[in-house]
């Protein structure tokens, strides 16, 4: 038995062409009325107003709820035998039944991999049996399609529709094989910066909260609207000291059914435009200057003391030698 929300999804999809038909018929009727007698200009204005009022009612009462239902119900995909059908979680998949409509036909729809399970089977007498695990998600539509609703990741596998034609015994048999891959769409990635200005490199890390078979890559932005793909993977290591690396980066995630992009990450944390980076370089410069001044002062003091000691030694030697020389001259 098909649940209420499946019926609502079906009604929403059939409502779109019905509304277009109603709109065209309404326009034709208003044109006819607008050309019947009286002031044609006033008639056209009056019926144009009625037409706009009618469209507003359609929009508020039918169109918006229908579009909401179509968003909730997910996309509809026709599975093709012998090919791989890729869909997103929540989508609806139609498996075609190439039944010849002959008496004594028996049709079986089953999943063969990873575990062989009969999902639904029916005969030309319209009797059918549905597996308990699928009774709320499977529907046979006019004997032409088997519809699987609200597919999930664990619905990924190989499916088979088998046709058997009987008289008193099996006359012929035919099989169609479908391969279904279901992926969960990726959520918006979150990019974070790991590291600071005390190290030459920083790391950009990207992660997602939802998604299956997700691949990551990074884009670097130079000018408005200009970007290039620079790295594959969730982790990007860059040299933030190099001015060439001071750009905006985005992490891009994708899988076969979706893609998403992170908010930009600006790595200008240690260049001259960043207050914290400026403070750090100023501190380092002041420390270097203080060390240089202290070293210069120490060297000057040492040289001054050394010169004074040499001068004292020189004067002492002259003082000791002078009397000896004088005595020799006196003799």
Residues 281, 271: Cα–Cα separation, whole Å: 9
Question: Which residues, in sequence order, are CB contacts of 63 under 8 Å at separation 6+?
Answer: 19
Which tokens is 173 given?
């048999």
Helix, strand, coil percent content, the chain, rounded in steps of 5? 40, 35, 30
In the prediction, which pLDDT does 18 show? 56
**Residue 76: what are its φ and ψ, rounded to 5°?**
-110, 130
Q: Is the pTM of this model over 0.95?
A: no
In the prediction, which pLDDT does 147 show? 95
Closest CA to 98 of 107, 85, 88: 107
Q: How many other CB atoms are there within 10 angstroms of residue 267's CB atom? A: 21
Residues 48, 195: Cα–Cα separation, whole Å: 65
In the prediction, which pLDDT does 304 show? 75
Closest CA to 267 of 232, 230, 215: 230
* Start-to-end C-alpha separation, the chain: 145
Q: What angle do CA 222, 225, 226 make, to 5 degrees?
A: 40
Q: What angle do CA 12, 17, 23 make, to 5 degrees?
A: 115
- Residuewise pLDDT in 10s, the chain (331 residues): 445 545 556 555 555 555 555 666 666 665 565 555 555 555 556 656 666 666 666 555 554 554 444 445 668 999 999 999 999 999 999 999 876 555 557 889 999 988 899 999 988 766 678 999 998 899 988 778 899 999 999 999 999 999 888 777 777 788 999 999 999 999 999 999 888 777 778 899 999 999 999 999 999 886 565 678 888 999 998 876 665 555 788 999 999 999 999 998 887 656 544 444 444 445 556 766 777 788 777 777 777 776 776 666 555 555 455 454 444 444 3
In the prediction, which pLDDT does 12 show? 53
């Amino acid at each position: 038995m098909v649940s209420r929300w499946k019926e609502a999804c079906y009604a929403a999809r059939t409502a779109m062409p019905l509304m277009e038909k109603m709109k065209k018929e309404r326009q034709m009727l208003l044109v006819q009325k607008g050309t019947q007698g009286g002031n044609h200009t006033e008639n056209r204005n009056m019926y144009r107003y009625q037409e706009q009022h009618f469209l507003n009612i359609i929009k508020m009462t039918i169109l918006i709820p229908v579009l909401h239902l179509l968003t909730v119900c997910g996309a509809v995909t026709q599975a093709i035998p012998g090919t791989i059908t890729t869909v997103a979680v929540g989508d609806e998949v139609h498996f075609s039944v190439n039944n010849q409509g002959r008496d004594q036909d028996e049709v079986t729809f089953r999943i063969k991999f990873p575990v062989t399970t009969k999902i639904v089977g029916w005969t030309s007498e319209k009797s059918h049996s549905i597996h308990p695990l699928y009774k709320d998600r499977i529907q046979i539509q006019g004997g032409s399609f088997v519809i699987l609703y609200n597919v999930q990741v664990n619905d990924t596998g190989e499916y088979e529709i088998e046709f058997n034609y009987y008289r008193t015994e099996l006359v012929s048999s035919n099989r169609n094989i479908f391969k279904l891959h279901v992926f969960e769409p990726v959520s918006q990635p979150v990019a974070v910066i790991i590291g600071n200005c005390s190290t030459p490199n920083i790391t950009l890390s990207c992660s997602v909260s939802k998604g299956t078979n997700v691949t990551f890559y990074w884009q670097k932005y130079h000018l408005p609207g200009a970007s290039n793909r620079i790295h594959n993977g969730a982790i990007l290591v860059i040299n933030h000291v190099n001015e060439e690396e001071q750009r905006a980066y985005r992490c891009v995630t994708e899988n076969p059914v979706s893609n998403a992009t992170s908010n930009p990450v600006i790595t200008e944390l240690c260049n001259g435009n960043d207050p914290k980076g400026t403070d750090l370089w100023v501190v380092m410069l002041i420390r270097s200057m203080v060390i240089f001044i202290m070293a210069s002062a120490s060297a000057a003091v040492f040289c001054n003391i050394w010169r004074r000691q040499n001068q004292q030694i020189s004067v002492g030697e002259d003082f000791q030698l002078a009397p000896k020389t004088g005595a020799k001259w006196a003799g």
